[in-house]
Amino acid sequence: MLPVRRLIQGTCLAGFLALFFWMCWPYGSKQYAEAFRAREIVDAELFLTLDPLVSVSTAIAGRMFVWSLAAGAGMMLVGVLLPRAFCGYVCPLGTLFDVFDRLIGRRGRPFGRWNHARFVLLAIVLVAAAFGVLLSGFVAAIPVLTRALLFVLAPVQTGFLKGWYLVPPANVGHVLSIVLIALMFALSLLGRRFWCSYLCPTGALLSLFSLLRLTERRLTGKCVKCGCCVGACSFAAVREDFSTRTLSCASCRACRGACPAGAIEFPWRWSGAKNAGGVDLSRRGVLAGLGGAAALGVGVPLAIGDGIEPRELPIRPPGSVPEDKFLQLCVRCGQCIKVCPNNVLQPAGFELGFNGLWTPKVVADWSGCEPSCNNCGQVCPTEAIRALSLEEKRAARIGLAEINCGVCLPHVGREACQMCVDECRMAGYNAIEFVRVGSEVDEKGEPLEGSGYLAPVVREDRCVGCGLCQMRCRSINVKSRKLLDGSAIRVVAGPGKEDRVVSGSYLDLKEERARQRQQRNRVEEETGGTEYLPDFLR
Amino acid sequence: MTAAVVACVAIQWATVWGGQAAMPQGSVKRTLAEIEALIQKVGTTQPDWWDSVPLTYPPTLDLNWPLRDDGPWDASRNVGQYLWDVINPNPDRWKEGIKLVNHLMIRHKDDRAKLARSTETLGRMFHDLMEDYARAVFWWRIAAKYGGYVEPIDLAHCYWRLGCREMAVETLAQAPSDYTRHGALIKLWADMGEFDKALKLAEQKARAGMPTVGYLAAGDACRLAGRYDEALAYYRKALAGQDAAGREGDVKQGKERAKASIEGIQLFDALDVTRVPDGTYTAASLAYAGPLHVEVTVQGGRIEAVRVTRHGEKQFYSALTDTPNQIIARQGVKGVDAVTGATMTSEAIIYATAKALAGGMSKAGGR
């Protein structure tokens, strides 16, 4: 018989890796959005949306409908037909655990009631979400794996294919994330797919849907009590008496393959004899678990709610929803960071507080946001970054460039420099123009031609905060020529400087601002307006 | 502050961004009657962009625009200083600048002196920024009617560019000698093909205490006519000249330009691309805003690419691509036209390319 499950698992893992490394590799064309669209035959964030905990937790935390709920619901419906099929067949993290388990030769070993710890984790995540704090990034299967790939293998990909100097430096967030995934794999030393069997809250959520299952594992009278099925099971779903722990079973059917007597079947739930035994839950256990979970779920948000005030306001990707909502919706998977050309987006460490850990922020000292790219919004599974058309993206302000006139070379009269102006013009924003500074005048008070410098000025009505100017000033004046300690032009975020909305058009916002400006500048009409050739001259 | 203030820098900066009304020199010929009809027709019609450009200016601006302002330099308050500091350096503000001046003209229509200044400024802006010569003449004539001063050389330039040589020559009768800072009169005569007249005026300017600017203009005239030996001689004279008049900075810049021209021209004759080995060569030459670097790629005895790698030029983006393209098309630097309004930038590209190729040849000779 074909190893159907292994084939599906292999396909899913390969697909996941292809989406991550091939589809989300932004290079090859300068028309980033176009090139990405051409590659995106299926959604790059497919697996993230299939992880039901991602959409459920963000929807609860953000108190809004996120479209990936539909994908998650689809996966749960499959789970009704084939309990925890996501874990048994789809989850690439699970498949990697299987590979790892095979490598270290671990056999299944049940830890009894421990397998309800995952429900406690799930409860913590959901209670915290109800209080507006999103913890799923720490524990949900696909975000954890995506971020691990981002931190461990994406730099290698960039290093070999583009150059190691393009790999941004790591921060404490990287370390934490890598430690987390390393721990998960280390747990496999205790037993096969230990994480999946005992701790994974995504699996726990799917298990809840197993309560509605239409099929289930069942033992027939042919059982010879050999115990092969216990050793074959990766999910601790077989009890000591070889009956089924139904909420744990992932429908992988490894036990049936291992059974020498052909005593295991997967019939419709209501056909034939009932499964022996129900759910292994003691009242005390449930109460203790839920109580503890609730306490933690409430405690963590309280603890970090009053935690560190961020030292700086982060510059978020274009199309990011308002910051509080952003923190509730961003699942910290890092997919946007992977698909961002030149690593403009980088994960925060603890500088934004605990709540900002792993969230994407624009590091304009490193690189600027390309006007031909809208990739980040396209891959966000939870609409923390809205999917924008290129036109909308070019109108969405993520910050405002500000010039430090105390250090800018022409402003202080050191030398002519127009790199930010050129860069902005090339990007098509034309948001930096010249002002002549330090004009000398002759005896009559007339300015002398060629005296003084042309210095840059930012036009607030045009700047979107892409940061290309900052990157250019830094790479030339700071790093290459060592004239300055830091870029003389810097993008700053904050109220009035960025557009953070949950819905609506950024182009409309821009138009509205222009209209208001026009109104402020309106000129009195009694002078006859601005007729090109007034009557008195005709 | 007068309208003349608006001019200066903009003279060097024209074409690329604003101009649509300009005709290439000599491509259209018009009679006096046709010119007058054109000026009347175009001058009285508002530009096509007029209604789509809103009137905007900083709220701090003093719209009274006093004729005399003894306060400190403040571009956010003084209109003339605002035009100089903010409007002139930014091509995409030129149109709103014109609308502002137009607005002020109407605002102060009962003040004859202010009216003269506004209309003079409008003519200046249409001439320098937009290269719209018909409207420039139109507004300057109104300015003259109200007692404003209009430079005959500028008017003549307009007539020449509009296609009527006779009107230009007639107007230049009012300008018997070149009294300009950069030899604009000499340059105009040379452009009009009056080579001898240009040289005579240049000699005159040199004798009048401005040899650097005078001989430099003469050298440019000769070079444009393809008379490289004479050009070299004039450039050398420009270098040697002792200036009694003129501004110190102008003299210094003029001498640097003369030197760059000599270096460039000396390379012209010896150049033979077919003798340059394959490779990429770099060199620099002096442009308007400092050194301009080029990178020339030669393959199989052909100039494959000319790339401007570093420059400080503000506006002349068309020169940065047009001149390299001409060099590649001609497979050499001789006879490449300078882009109007960007002469220094074009020249710098030509000279730097010549230097780079010469460097390649000497490498071959050394083998």
Average pLDDT over residues B297-304: 89
pLDDT above 70 covers what percent of chain A?
91
pLDDT above 80 (res A309)? no
B248 and chain A in contact, CB less than 8 A: no
pLDDT of residue A278: 54
DSSP B158: H
Other Cβ atoms less than 10 A from the Cβ of A84: the count is: 31
How far away is chain A from the Cα of B134, in angstroms, using its nearest Cα? 14
pLDDT above 60 (res B366)? no
Residue A33 confidence class, pLDDT cut points 50, 70, 90: very high
A-facing residues of B in 163-182 (CB < 8 A) are 181
pLDDT of residue B19: 32
pLDDT of residue B250: 81
Average pLDDT over residues A271-281: 59
**Cα A147 from chain centre:** 8
The radius of gyration of chain A from alpha carbons, rounded to an integer in Å, stands at: 29
pLDDT tens-place string over residues A179-212: 999 999 999 888 889 999 999 999 999 999 888 8
Residues of A whose CB is below 8 A from B128: none
Residue B22 confidence class, pLDDT cut points 50, 70, 90: very low
pLDDT of residue A526: 43
Q: Which residue has the higher pLDDT, B185 or B16?
A: B185
Yes or no, beta carbons of A435 and B86 under 8 Å apart: yes
Yes or no, beta carbons of B89 and A447 under 8 Å apart: no
Average pLDDT over residues B262-268: 84
Yes or no, beta carbons of A528 and B106 under 8 Å apart: yes
> Which chain B residue shows the shortest CA-CA distance from A437?
B85
How far away is chain A from the Cα of B36, in angstroms, using its nearest Cα? 16
pLDDT of residue B65: 93
Mean pLDDT taken over chain A: 88
B85 and chain A in contact, CB less than 8 A: yes
> Which chain A residue shows the shortest CA-CA distance from B108?
A527
> Which chain B residue shows the shortest CA-CA distance from A533?
B44
The region of weakest confidence among B32-46, B107-121, B195-209, B217-231 is: B217-231
pLDDT of residue A302: 67
pLDDT tens-place string over residues A501-515: 999 999 999 999 988
Of A321, A320, A317, A312, nearest to A369 by C-alpha is A317
Which contacts qualify for A270-273: CB closer than 8 Å, 24 or more apart?
Answer: A272/A218, A273/A218
Residues of B whose CB is below 8 A from A410: none
The radius of gyration of chain B from alpha carbons, rounded to an integer in Å, stands at: 22
pLDDT of residue B2: 42
Give the N- to C-terminal CA distance of chain B in Å, as an integer.
62
Residues of A whose CB is below 8 A from B44: 533, 538
From A434, A437, A530, residue closest to B55, measured CB to CB? A530
pLDDT of residue B247: 79
How far away is chain A from the Cα of B160, in angstroms, using its nearest Cα? 25
pLDDT of residue A227: 86
Average pLDDT over residues A136-154: 95
pLDDT of residue B115: 95
Average pLDDT over residues A69-86: 90
Residue B315 confidence class, pLDDT cut points 50, 70, 90: low
Yes or no, beta carbons of B86 and A533 under 8 Å apart: no
**Helix H or strand E segment including A98:** helix A92-104
pLDDT of residue B151: 92
pLDDT above 70 (res B9)? no
Residues near B140 by beta carbon (within 8 Å), at least 6 away in sequence: B119, B120, B123, B127, B148, B150, B154, B155
CA atoms within 13 A on the CB side of A370: 19
The region of weakest confidence among A288-292, A348-352, B96-100 is: A288-292
> Which chain A residue shows the shortest CA-CA distance from B47?
A532
Between chain A and chain B, the number of residue pairs with CB atoms below 8 A apart is 86
Residues of A whose CB is below 8 A from B92: 430, 433
Average pLDDT over residues B16-25: 36
From A416, A436, A527, residue closest to B89, measured CB to CB? A436
Yes or no, beta carbons of B312 and A518 under 8 Å apart: no
How far away is chain B from the Cα of A161, in angstroms, using its nearest Cα? 26
Residues of B whose CB is below 8 A from A537: 142
**Helix H or strand E segment including B166:** helix B165-172
Residue A428 confidence class, pLDDT cut points 50, 70, 90: very high
Yes or no, beta carbons of B5 and A446 under 8 Å apart: yes
How far away is chain B from the Cα of A364, in angstroms, using its nearest Cα? 23
A533 and chain B in contact, CB less than 8 A: yes
Which bin fits B312, alpha (ψ -120 to 50), beta or left (φ > 0)? alpha
A516 and chain B in contact, CB less than 8 A: no
A534 and chain B in contact, CB less than 8 A: yes
B55 and chain A in contact, CB less than 8 A: yes
From B90, B99, B312, residue closest to A416, measured CB to CB? B312
Yes or no, beta carbons of B85 and A437 under 8 Å apart: yes
pLDDT tens-place string over residues A78-112: 988 999 999 999 999 999 999 999 898 876 566 66
pLDDT of residue A112: 61
Q: Which residue has the higher pLDDT, B17 or B62?
A: B62
From A439, A441, A534, residue closest to B106, measured CB to CB? A534
A176 burial class (0-12, 13-18, 19+ CB within 10 angstroms)? middle
Of A410, A390, A404, A502, nearest to A452 by C-alpha is A410
* Amino acid of residue A146: T
B72 and chain A in contact, CB less than 8 A: no
How far away is chain A from the Cα of B270, in angstroms, using its nearest Cα? 35
Yes or no, beta carbons of B103 and A449 under 8 Å apart: no
Yes or no, beta carbons of A449 and B54 under 8 Å apart: no
From B69, B93, B106, residue closest to A527, measured CB to CB? B106
pLDDT above 80 (res A449)? no
Yes or no, beta carbons of A441 and B73 under 8 Å apart: yes
Q: How far is CA A49 from CA A55, A124, B103, B179, in A?
A: 7, 21, 59, 77
pLDDT of residue A202: 95
pLDDT of residue A305: 57
Residues near A112 by beta carbon (within 8 Å), at least 6 away in sequence: A280
Furthest-apart CA atoms within chain B: distance in Å: 78
Mean pLDDT taken over chain B: 83
pLDDT above 80 (res A426)? yes
pLDDT above 60 (res B21)? no
B203 and chain A in contact, CB less than 8 A: no
B314 and chain A in contact, CB less than 8 A: yes
Residues of B whose CB is below 8 A from A441: 73
How far away is chain A from the Cα of B85, in angstroms, using its nearest Cα? 4
> Which chain B residue shows the shortest CA-CA distance from A534?
B106
- Find out whether A191 and A230 touch, Cβ atoms under 8 Å: no
From B56, B57, B90, residue closest to A433, measured CB to CB? B90
d(CA A383, CA B45): 53
Residues near A398 by beta carbon (within 8 Å), at least 6 away in sequence: A315, A316, A317, A318, A320, A362, A369, A464, A465, A466, A491, A493, A498, A499
Average pLDDT over residues B280-303: 85
pLDDT above 50 (res B17)? no
pLDDT tens-place string over residues A360-372: 999 999 999 999 9
B-facing residues of A in 51-110 (CB < 8 A) are none
d(CA A5, CA A257): 12
DSSP B303: E
Average pLDDT over residues A131-135: 89
- Residue B11 has φ and ψ, to the nearest 5°, of -55, -40
> Which chain B residue shows the shortest CA-CA distance from A527?
B107
> Which chain A residue shows the shortest CA-CA distance from B57?
A521
**Residue with structure tokens 């950024």?**
A506
pLDDT of residue B20: 33
Yes or no, beta carbons of B99 and A436 under 8 Å apart: no
Residue B25 confidence class, pLDDT cut points 50, 70, 90: very low
Residues of A whose CB is below 8 A from B57: 521
Yes or no, beta carbons of B289 and A434 under 8 Å apart: no
Q: What is the dihedral sign for C-alpha A256, A257, A258, A259?
A: positive
Yes or no, beta carbons of B81 and A434 under 8 Å apart: no
Residues of B whose CB is below 8 A from A532: 45-47, 50, 102
pLDDT of residue B7: 37
- Find out whether B295 and B280 touch, Cβ atoms under 8 Å: yes
Q: How far is CA B211 from CA B207, B240, B248, B259, in A?
A: 7, 8, 13, 14
